Each structure stands twice: as C-alpha cells, then as structure tokens.
A and B are shown apart, each in its own frame.
Chain A
Amino acid sequence: MNPRWTLLKRNLLDFWKTFRRNRMGLAGAFLVLTAVLAAVFAPLLSPYTPTETMRDAEGRALTFAPPSVHAPLGTDDAGRDVWTQLVYGARISLTVGFLAGFIAMFIGSLFGITAGYFGGWVDNLLMRITDVLLVIPDLPLILVLVATVRQLELKVSPLVILILVIGLLYWTSTARLIRSQVLTIKERQYVYRARAIGAGNWHIVRKHILPQIMPLIVANTVLILSTAILIESGLAFLGLGDPTQPSWGTMLNFAFDRNAVSNGAWWFYLPPGLAIIWATLGCVLLGNVLEEMLNPRLASHHLEGEQRIATQP
C-alpha cells in the first residue's frame, strides 16, 4: 500500500510540474475554477436574489435598465438584476453540464472497455450502436425525445430530463477513444501474463486496464463537459430548460423571447453568452492540454522552415 502511494504522489508531482509550464492548461484551469467558484459562492457575490425586482423611487419596476452602480449588468425585462441571474445561473448550467458529462463518461467508458476488452461480436455490436447514434442528427433527436418524455407528464424537473437525455446521447466519442486504448493495452505482455496465471476478467480490467486508461478518461471527461454545457445552453434557449431555475441558456431564451435585442439591452443578451464561452473554453483548454500530455504529437515535419547551415553567412 505504501509504495503504491509514494509512486502515485510522485506521478502527480511530475504531472503538476509539466502542467505548470503549460500556459494554455493554466488558462483553462483558471477559467473553469472561477466559473465553479462563482457558482458555489453566488450568494456572496450578489446582494440580491435572482427573482427580486429592482424598483425605482416610485416603486416602478426598472425594466431593461442599463448597467449602473447598483446593477453592474443592468436589469432584464422584469427588472431583475442580470449579474445576480448570471452567478446563480452558473449553478444550473454547470450542474447540468457536469452531471450530464459524468453520465456520458460513465456510459462511454463502459461501452469502450467492454467493446475493447471482449472484442469479437460484442465489439462489433457495440460499435455499430455507436455508429448509428453518430449518424442520426443530434438536435432533432434530442428535441423529439424531450418532447415525447414531456408528454408523458412525469413529475420530474425538466432539468433531470435534460441531464439524462444529454448523458444518454453524448458518450460516443468517449467510447471510441477508450476502446482503442483498451485494444492497445490488451495486447501487452502483462495482460497475457495475468491471464496465463489464471486471473479473471474483472481482475484484469480492474488492476491492469483501468489504471492505465484513467488519465485518458479524465482528460476526455473534461472535453465532454464542454460539449454538455454547450448543448444544455442550446436546449435551454429553445425553451426546454426550467424557467424557475434559469441557467445561462434560459436567460438567453428570456432575452430573445422578450425582445432584449430590439430594445437594445445588450447587457442582458451579451453576458450569459460570454459566460457560456468562458466555461466551455475553460473545459476545452484544460481537456486539450490534459489529452496532449498523454499523447505527444509530432516534433516537426519535412516542410518546416529552411535547412540551417552554420557555414553560410
């Protein structure tokens, strides 16, 4: 137990040293961290609640008020503070994104490991399912699924439906990635040896395969998160979110439907989009860097630059 722990610590330390030097990764980490912190500490970041209406001296609702000292991002069509909605909206956007992402990661890893490890007809079947899912256009499918489920009038929050639907449809890239990794590992010596001494499948997967692919799963999950956040915002924009728990996408739905554009209320439709980009970009940068650290690319190619000759002036 002890030597394993020291080895793990050393690996993490090496990882951190390399990571620290990579500026893109740090930028990504910064973006993600600030978004998460904003969500967690929302009540501390704003004196108002998202549903509070701002009123002027005469008690009239301050609709579409431009940014001011009291409301740094102005108000929306019902006089509610936009900044407050933004930080509280982070909670919804990020939670839905994270949960959906984890479901997708879980399903994808399961499919990928099973397909890669067992091979044969299992592999074929699972990969065909993946392919079918990839061909069918994603948004129409989601919309149709959500519409049907809604129709069943189950007593569930629309957010739960969103999480499930996104998670159930976006695992394909993870599955493929994991599968190809497992295929490589499966052919390695120590797996053959383990089988030769009679180790069971579950044991081999747990002890030999999982630890090897864990880093890759982590890197890929971060990338999936970015997709999940984007998709959630799009679906919320189309009205499939929960109006009582607005995410950034829902805010944009309100902004668009309630004529923020024609009213010139840029403070209402600009920030939520920027917030989505902030969080998504953070996940992408982080995920890319993580993936790169596990997958070094070409050093240089043949048409790069001109031959350097020291004997020439």
Chain B
Amino acid sequence: MNRRDYLLRKIFFSLVTLAIVVVLNFVLFRVLPGDPVRAVIGRNVRISADTQQALREQFGLDRPVFPDQFLTALGQWARGNLGVSWSLRKPVGEVLVTKLGNTLLLIGLGQLLSIILGVALGLLAGWKRKTAVDVGALTFSLIAWAIPTFWLGIILLAAGSTWLGLPTGGIVSPSNVGKPLYTVLPDVTHHLILPTLTLTILYMGEYMLIMRSSIMEVLGEDYILTAKAKGMSHWQVLRKHALKNAMLPIVTLIAINLGFTVSGAIYVETVFSYDGLGKMFQTALVKQDYPLLQGAFLLLAVSVILANMLADILYTYLDPRVKAS
C-alpha cells in the first residue's frame, strides 16, 4: 500500500468518526430526552400546553424522528444553524464563534510552550540517562501527571493573585470588556499568564516523557553507532541523526493531545473564569442549556477530529517509511 492509499484510509476514517459524532449528538439531544420540546427550549421555562404544541409543530418535532427530524437537523447543522441558546437568548453559533478565538489563543499558547519545554527537557533527560537531569525530569513528569488540572489552576490562582498580584480571572479587566482583543494586548497577556502556565506545566510532563523514551530508543539503534563510527561527536550525532527520528512520535502525540487539551481548557477556563468555549461549556452544563451544550459539543468534537486528520496527513509526509498501516 502506498502513501496515497494510506492517506485515503485515514481520511475515510475521520469522515466515519465525524458521522458517528453527528449521529451521537442527534441521539443524545433529540432522541433520548423524554420531551424534545423541553430539550430545545430548556426545562425551566414555563409555557402553556398550546404553546408547546405550536412549538412542536414549528420545530418539526411532531414528525417522525428518523429520517425526517434527523435530516432536518443535519441540514441545519451544515448551514451553521445550531439552535438558539435559551439562557443567553442568542443563536448558538454566534455565541460559540466569539468564544472560540479566546480558547484557541489559550490552548495554542499553552501547547506551544509545553512542547518546546517538554521536548527540550526530554531530549536532555534521554541523552543524559540516569544523571540528575534525567531523574529530576522523570520525577517532575510523574508528579505533574498526577496533579488534577483544575486543582493546579486553583493553587496557581491563589498563589499568583496573592503574591504576584496577577488577575484572578477573566480574559481582560472589567474596564476592557467588549473591546477587540488586539487593542488591549498587554491586559490580555497579563490575564493569560496563570492559565497558560497551568496548561504548560501539566502537558510539559507528557512531552518530556515521550521525547525521552523516543530518544532513548533511537539512540540504541544501529545507525547511531554507524554515525559515531564515522567520527561524529555526540552532539553532532544527536542533531543530525537522532533528532528527526525521535521527533516523529511527538507529532503523533500532539495529535492525540488535541482532544485532551480541550478537556484541560474546560477546567482551566472554569477556574480562571476565562471567557472561552471551555467555560461556556461548563456554564451550559450547570444551567442545563441543552442547545448550547449540544452545539458546543458538536463544534469541539468536529474540530478535534479534523485537527487529528490534518496531523495524520502531516505525519505521512514527515516519515518516508510510511507505506502500509
């Protein structure tokens, strides 16, 4: 099997996963809840029986679930119509889009820093095995893995606000709410420090561990001995032969992490009251605002799946050995 077939397989798989997510979303939010009208407009809103019936007809909820309702829903979703959030009284799509950018900023920054730091540390640890650096790095990763995301956020929040005067929440100070972010960059940066730090500390450990074991495995390969036999210094061997091979699993890890980073963002945004998708997800959950919840889930899941697919495609171009699965 060559590269093209491999790629097609991956893309096909992603499409299947997307389909499953869409169906799942539909089943969870339109089928399972006892009364679909309630699901769409929320439980706590009081309406008369007549209004209920009218709404039912309007939303097409008196039609058979499958295929009518399903296809209608699909059509709506494809057009970006994800329903209306009853708690915010705005279209779900609109709400999500505004928050998406904030979350991407946070996640992007956190991931970038954790990759850089994690890979550097992992490289050092794997190369200088069994030395203090290695042991220290391992201990750090181990402990970092065991720390609950939200708790680290709380601790950093407490410490940061008490000792360093860093803000206790939000993405901008109250005086700057509503202004486009690029106009108040220093304020945004100030608010980003703690949440980003939380994400970085947590994910750094994983990258470090993977890089460490990857580099250890690579350095045990025969071609490293060949390189050494050619007369290269340790550093030259590392740079020219070991690194590229060792970095391949990191690319895979980044892809795998995409889903987990989203989860981490939910916790971190909640703790820091950071106005992004994560916090909105949690709020929707608490308020039982199902249209919002369902729209957010759909958006998050689809984004992660697509990002994974892109990462897979990228990987096939990075590793010349990729031929068959």
Contacts and interface: CB of A to CB of B under 8 A. Distances in A.
A touches B in complex, CB < 8 A: yes
Contact of B260 (A131, A138, A144, A280): A138
Contacts of B254: none
B301 A148 contact: no
B217 A298 contact: yes
Contacts, number: 165
A135 B305 contact: yes
Contact of B301 (A141, A226, A304): A141
B97 interface: no
Nearest to A143: B285
A106 interface: no
Contacts of B290: 147, 151
In this complex, the interface size class of chain B, counting residues with CB under 8 Å from chain A, is: 35 or more
A210 interface: no
A131 B263 CA distance: 18
B224 A226 contact: no
Chain B residues touching A, majority SS: helix
B17 A301 contact: no
A151 B259 contact: no
B283 to A, nearest CB: 11
B148 A302 contact: no
Contact of B288 (A147, A270, A301): A147
A298 B130 CA distance: 13
A140 interface: yes
Residue of A151, A264, A273, A280 ringed by the most chain B CB atoms within 10 A: A151
Given A132-B16, A256-B271, A144 B28 contact: yes
B296 A238 contact: no
Given A128-B13, A298-B217, A281 B146 contact: yes
18 contacts: A132-B20, A135-B259, A135-B305, A139-B263, A139-B266, A141-B301, A151-B34, A151-B288, A234-B267, A261-B158, A276-B146, A276-B148, A280-B146, A281-B142, A285-B142, A300-B129, A302-B224, A302-B237
Interface of A: 128, 131-132, 134-141, 143-145, 147-148, 151-152, 226, 230, 233-234, 237-239, 249, 252, 255-256, 261-262, 264, 266, 269-270, 272-273, 276-277, 280-281, 284-285, 297-298, 300-304
Given A148-B28, A237-B148, 4 more contacts: A128-B13, A143-B281, A238-B267, A276-B146
